[in-house]
Amino acid sequence: MIDTRGLSLDQAPPFHIPARFFLTAPLFVLLAGLLLLWEGPSLLASRWLPLALAMTHLIVIGYLGLLMCGALLQMLPVVLGAPVPAVRWVGSLTHPLLGLGALFLAGGLGYGLPWSLAWGAVASALGFICFLLPVTLALWHARGEPGTRRALRAAALALLVTLLLGLVLSTFLLGLLPLGNFTGWVNAHVIWGLLGWVGLLVIGVAVQVIPLFFVTPPYPALARAWLAPLLLILIVLASLAEVRGWDLTATLALGTVGAGFVLFALLTLWLLVRRGRRRLDPTLLHWGTAMLSVVAAFLAWMLNAPPTLVGILLLVGVGLGLPAGMLFKILPFLAWFHLQHRQLASGRFDLRIPHMGSLLAVNWARTQFGLHLLALLLGMVALAVPALARPAGLVLFLSGLVLEGLLVGVVLRYRRASRAFMATPAP
């Protein structure tokens, strides 16, 4: 369980650091939506199309990368009692580097611009390295539940491998390195990025936050302790087999990894059904949709459906939705937490700080979920009915816009409450 005994303002980064990551990330959903709106159905025809690669990197580095890094800087001290060293520096460097990296990488991949690809690869790599070095140190000294520690360490390792494979692929595309079996290397990059970094991090975070947010029983001890390390071993095997061209081994290992994630998704859905709090809040709806997307993606892969369908389910269903749902809890909680500490530090117990629930416009959060779900469904159907690709792009853009509006709203309410605190004299 989250150890709030060790939680102190000295350990947690200032509010503006995670907030900066969280407010920037949805802008990349806007860009991804605009790209799909502009380019239309041709973008969804194959996962190898330059613009599909551009859109993928806008989502995975611009949106997911920023959100996951920003959230971890804040969560490591809380969940594992492991404050990130020099967190202000890390925040100030990683944030612009990942943002610029995503833009340049998307430009380079999407429009065939070698200079943009090179700058994008270097900036993204530097951004992730600035993040990984201190985070590795923090994880080294981490306390707390061993299962979560293992999952987060495995996810950090997966990010490093994804990054190295990305650099290998970029140098090949720039003509600086010969590479046999390009498809195998790309598949290995995708496996480490999506299943390793994103997948293992989701597992590590879920075992902590699902019981906490939704008042559910804990995940079974065996799954908590060993699912992530087991998946990591299988990911190593699957990616090695992809690079070496051992097709049968790759398929078997990947199938087992997929089955492991399906098991995790079904476990999560089972816990959510047994939750103590019966209300359907937007975070719960996003978690449920993301877990169903995992199951659907695995079935689609088993049935040899187009890889773009698996991609949409994982990137949009899980990658865009789940972090949005988490943000609906994380950002208001952080705002509330910092206000609470301000009150403690000042001893102004005569002032009432706003409840966490009042910091987020929850009806708009439900609208955001609805738009997200519509974008996911339209994106999938657009593979068969190309005329729906542009509407899918428009709805995706709108879901990003509402998400951004919601987060800005939380920050403004936090500022207002902060100012009232400082302006009112003590009685």
Partner 1 sequence: MDKELDVSDLEPPEPLERILDALMELRSGECLAVSHRRLPYPLFDMLRRMGHRYETTGEEGRYRILIWPSGE
The binding site for partner 1 (CB under 8 A) comprises 1-2, 4-5, 7, 212-215, 276-277, 333, 336-337, 340, 344, 347, 349, 352, 355-357
259 vs 280, which CB is nearer to partner 1? 280
- Closest separation between CB of residue 106 and partner 1, Å? 37
- Quick check: 130 and 66 in contact, CB under 8 A? no
For the chain, state the CA radius of gyration.
21
Query: C-alpha distances in angstroms, 317 versus 92, 97, 207, 369?
Result: 30, 26, 20, 11
User: Could you tell me which residues come within 8 angstroms of residue 267 by beta carbon, excluding any fewer than 6 positions away?
Assistant: 219, 220, 223
Helix ranges, 303-388 (H): 307-312, 321-346, 362-381
The string over 305-335, giving b where at least 16 C-beta atoms fall within 10 Å of a residue's C-beta and e elsewhere, is: beebbbbbbbbbbbbbbbbbbbbbbbbbbbb
Which stretch of DSSP H or E encloses residue 118? Answer: helix 114-140
- Closest separation between CB of residue 342 and partner 1, Å? 13
- Closest separation between CB of residue 350 and partner 1, Å? 9
1 vs 177, which CB is nearer to partner 1? 1
Amino acid, single-letter form, for residue 355: H
Note the Cα 53 to chain centre separation in Å. 18
- Closest separation between CB of residue 2 and partner 1, Å? 8
280 vs 344, which CB is nearer to partner 1? 344
178 vs 347, which CB is nearer to partner 1? 347
CA distance 213 to 133: 30
317 vs 332, which CB is nearer to partner 1? 332
- Closest separation between CB of residue 283 and partner 1, Å? 10
- Closest separation between CB of residue 347 and partner 1, Å? 7
248 vs 426, which CB is nearer to partner 1? 426
2 vs 322, which CB is nearer to partner 1? 2
Q: Which residue, chain included where needed, has tokens 């590590």? A: 204
- Quick check: 130 and 69 in contact, CB under 8 A? no
- Closest separation between CB of residue 206 and partner 1, Å? 15
259 vs 420, which CB is nearer to partner 1? 420
CA distance 135 to 83: 9
Beta-carbon count within 10 A of 27 CB: 20
Is the Cα dihedral 41, 47, 50, 52 positive or negative?
positive
Helix ranges, 40-113 (H): 50-57, 66-80, 87-111
Query: C-alpha distances in angstroms, 103 versus 68, 106, 296?
Result: 18, 5, 30
DSSP code of residue 49: S
Look up residue 288 and give its two tokens: 């449920």
- Closest separation between CB of residue 324 and partner 1, Å? 18
DSSP code of residue 217: P
- Closest separation between CB of residue 332 and partner 1, Å? 10
- Closest separation between CB of residue 50 and partner 1, Å? 44
21 vs 213, which CB is nearer to partner 1? 213
178 vs 276, which CB is nearer to partner 1? 276
- Please provide the size of the chain in residues: 427
CA distance 53 to 31: 14
